[in-house]
Amino acid sequence: MTNRRILVVDDNPDLHLDFKKILKSSENEEEKRLKNAALALFGEDKTSLAQKIEFELDFASQGEEAFGKVVAAHEAGRPYALLFVDVRMPPGWDGITTIAKIWEKVPCTEVVICTAYTDYSFEEVLSKLGVSERLLFLKKPFDSVEVLQIAIAQTKKWNLEQSNIKYSEGLEQEVELRTKELDQERARSVNGAKLMALGEMAGGIAHEINNPLTIIQQNAQLLSEMLEEKMDFTAIQKRTKKIIETTERIAKIIRGLRTFSRSGDNDPFDTVTMAQLIEQTLGMCREKFKVQDIMLTVDNPAPSTTVECRQVQIIQVLLNLLNNSYDAIEKNAERWVKIEVADFVDHVELALTDSGCGIPVAVQEKIFQPFFTTKEVGRGTGLGLSISRGIIESHQGQFWIDKQSKNTRFVISLNKKLAPMAEHKNVS
């Protein structure tokens, strides 16, 4: 509802009456004069503006009283839109002090200073109150039409400003709400991507475990046959050793799987050898590559080549790179993937190259964007590389495509020692 509450602040009671006459509808001569003036001014219909616009008038005779009323009204949720304030109001605060005090508490109040020539100069007022678009000057003695026009315009201005504020507050809330929804959506997608990666891996794990299980089975079978026939201790020892080795391999795969299935977001940063990172990753996909006859070569890094990282997250990155390569080349005639490690003074670079012939420049620009995928629906979420880049950046590292290479080649650079504070950053 439009707020047309006006407070007249003047120590002269006659002026209160004058304002009442001008701003309250009545049937006296003054009203008729106003009716005509308003008609001439605004070209409106025959009903007077003062009659059409219902102002709610209130009065104060002293600055302190006005201040009290404005603050109380504001706190009660029924603020004044406009104040007409006299300058001289002995014995209390003068108009300028009153306005300054009121603006401190309720800055949005529109004010008209009613002043005679002998009062403060324009410059003095501005020096005390500052330049404000909420301030108008009305010279005494004033014209009724002018007062009415100011009352209409300034209350309208107050109301417009308030609805603007409400509108932008509403917009801000809307933006906040949408951002929250987007964040939730993003979290869901990231989780979806993790689940999908896990699903894909579960399939891969079947391959990984199937083969060693066959080895165990065959060796156990052989052992049993040997025991039936004759006790050849050396042969038995050889077979049992093979069984132990193979169960160790399965245990390793399962350890890797356990590690991978956690998000790792809150893990501490540890110093880990590159050899360990690569071995753990390969433990989860070696068999899958073998089945597809993809040659995997690793330029084994020295045990002294270490990085400070969240192991689980780096394994996630490497596994995504390996899976991407697998998807890209599985049907190619030439199928190989090569992992190389270069040890520098303060950082380590891991390069993963596959036999693919590079990624077209137009696609290269997009592959790190979330949800960009060239894979068929249901196969890729397009989040792998964007999550990976996030992980590498949270490790203060870098992740790029080697554009010089004629094959598809990704490089990851990780620091041997992190700068302080890195621990506090999370990715997803």
Ligand X SMILES: Nc1ncnc2c1ncn2[C@@H]1O[C@H](COP(=O)(O)OP(=O)(O)OP(=O)(O)O)[C@@H](O)[C@H]1O
CB of 396 to Mg ion, least distance (A): 23
Residue 92 binding: pick among ligand X, Mg ion, none (C-beta 5-8 Å cut-off by kind): none
Could you say which residues in the range 205-264 bind Mg ion, by CB under 5 A?
none
> Which single residue is written with the structure tokens 């201040």?
67
CB 41, CB 149: distance < 8 Å: yes
324 contributes a contact to Mg ion by CB under 5 A: yes
1 burial via Cβ count (<10 Å: 0-12, 13-18, 19+): exposed
Phi, psi of 233 (to 5 degrees): -60, -40
375 contributes a contact to ligand X by CB under 6 A: yes
CB of 77 to Mg ion, least distance (A): 56
Give the integer Cα–Cα distance in Å for 215 and 230.
Answer: 22
Task: Find the radius of gyration of the CA atoms of the chain.
Answer: 40
Residue in 15, 367, 392, 412 binding ligand X, rule: CB under 6 A: 367
380 contributes a contact to ligand X by CB under 6 A: yes
CB of 291 to ligand X, least distance (A): 19
Between 15 and 294, CB nearer to ligand X:
294
Residue 144 binding: pick among ligand X, Mg ion, none (C-beta 5-8 Å cut-off by kind): none
Token pair listed for 256: 């890797």
Residue 294 binding: pick among Mg ion, ligand X, none (C-beta 5-8 Å cut-off by kind): none
CB 232, CB 226: distance < 8 Å: yes
The one-letter code for the residue type at 39 is L
356 contributes a contact to ligand X by CB under 6 A: yes
| Mutual angle of helices 311-329 and 274-283, in 10-degree steps | 50
Of the listed pieces 84-92, 174-182, 318-326, 341-349, which binds Mg ion according to CB under 5 A? 318-326
CB of 334 to ligand X, least distance (A): 13
Residue 61 binding: pick among Mg ion, ligand X, none (C-beta 5-8 Å cut-off by kind): none
193 contributes a contact to ligand X by CB under 6 A: yes
Neighbouring CB atoms inside 10 A of 185's CB total 10
Pairing status of strand 82-86 against strand 56-60: unpaired
Residue in 163, 168, 300, 374 binding ligand X, rule: CB under 6 A: 374
Give the integer Cα–Cα distance in Å for 49 and 42.
Answer: 9
Between 147 and 317, CB nearer to ligand X:
317
Could you say which residues in the range 341-400 bind Mg ion, by CB under 5 A?
384
Give the integer Cα–Cα distance in Å for 428 and 423.
Answer: 14
322 contributes a contact to ligand X by CB under 6 A: no
CB 320, CB 357: distance < 8 Å: no
163 burial via Cβ count (<10 Å: 0-12, 13-18, 19+): exposed
Q: Which of 138, 168, 131 has its CA nearest to residue 153?
A: 138
Give the integer Cα–Cα distance in Å for 157 and 151.
Answer: 10
Between 283 and 380, CB nearer to ligand X:
380
Residues 227-256, mask of contacts with ligand X (x by CB under 6 A): ------------------------------
- 22's CB contacts (< 8 A; 6+ apart) are 30, 34, 50, 144, 147, 148, 151
Between 35 and 389, CB nearer to Mg ion:
389
Could you say which residues in the range 384-413 bind ligand X, by CB under 6 A?
384-386, 408
Of the listed pieces 73-81, 106-114, 321-329, 339-347, which binds ligand X according to CB under 6 A? 321-329
> Which single residue brings its beta carbon nearest to ligand X?
384
Between 112 and 412, CB nearer to ligand X:
412
Neighbouring CB atoms inside 10 A of 352's CB total 21
325 contributes a contact to Mg ion by CB under 5 A: no
283 contributes a contact to Mg ion by CB under 5 A: no
Q: Which residues bind ligand X (CB under 6 A)?
A: 193, 196, 320, 324-325, 328, 354, 356, 359, 367, 372-375, 380-386, 408
